[in-house]
Chains A and B, each alone.
Chain A
């Protein structure tokens, strides 16, 4: 119960070595290939991380950016940042005010890398943020689905 409402956990095995997965998680041009449209990364604790989503033909929508603050850089095993995946509080630094924490943990695995993602802190967000986020995420999720299908339809995508 506590888990269900406060955190999201995912785990997957990726057929690439941890250093390679680490690069995809932390290098701006690679983050732009799968997370957002582009990203800026100051790779150090307390460094700034900014994701940008540009509108695409497939998905429409408006350009938006999402600031994050890096907490842990332990190459290639652990990468942690805090962010606000919702609207509001734009002027308040991430050292203050509400946020959720995203933790990537990478482990060696016979097939490559076991990647674990935990996003936590949802239960302690102010309730009014949740509604805003609900609406924005509906929009964002549709946009991401559009990007995903466009990506899978492209010639370079593996089957």
Chain B
């Protein structure tokens, strides 16, 4: 499995995407703190974090009694390149649409 495959597999689950977005906003953050703000158990949050960690999306650090998680931005690059490429296709299509309608606005 390539890095992008692992990343997308990890992100296929909407709750897991939500967990990751909260890690991005609040990291470094503990599973307990995330669990308090999500409608799922702390145990479920820990499982999601484990999947994100094995995909290389988050890193864990022990701080005293707690384990805190934060984003590893590099893992997202390959995955977001793919979306960027698809976005560029829309840019090209919409540029053609606008040009087409400007050429003949009343057709």
A8 touches B96 (CB 8 A): no
Contacts of B33 in A (CB 8 A): none
Shortest A98–chain B CB gap in Å is 11
Tally of contacts, chain A with chain B, CB under 8 A: 126
Interface string of B1-24 (1 = CB under 8 A from A): 110111011011010011011001
What range describes how many residues of B lie at the interface?
Answer: 35 or more
Interface, chain B (partner A; CB < 8 A): 1-2, 4-6, 8-9, 11-12, 14, 17-18, 20-21, 24, 76, 79-80, 82-83, 85-103, 105-107
B90 touches A10 (CB 8 A): yes
Contacts of A62 in B (CB 8 A): none
Contacts of B24 in A (CB 8 A): 1
Q: Is A58 in the interface zone, CB < 8 Å from B?
A: no
**Interface locus among A71-79, A88-96, A129-137:** A129-137
A124 touches B103 (CB 8 A): no
Task: Determine the distance from Cα of A37 to Cα of B17 in the docked complex, in whole angstroms.
Answer: 37
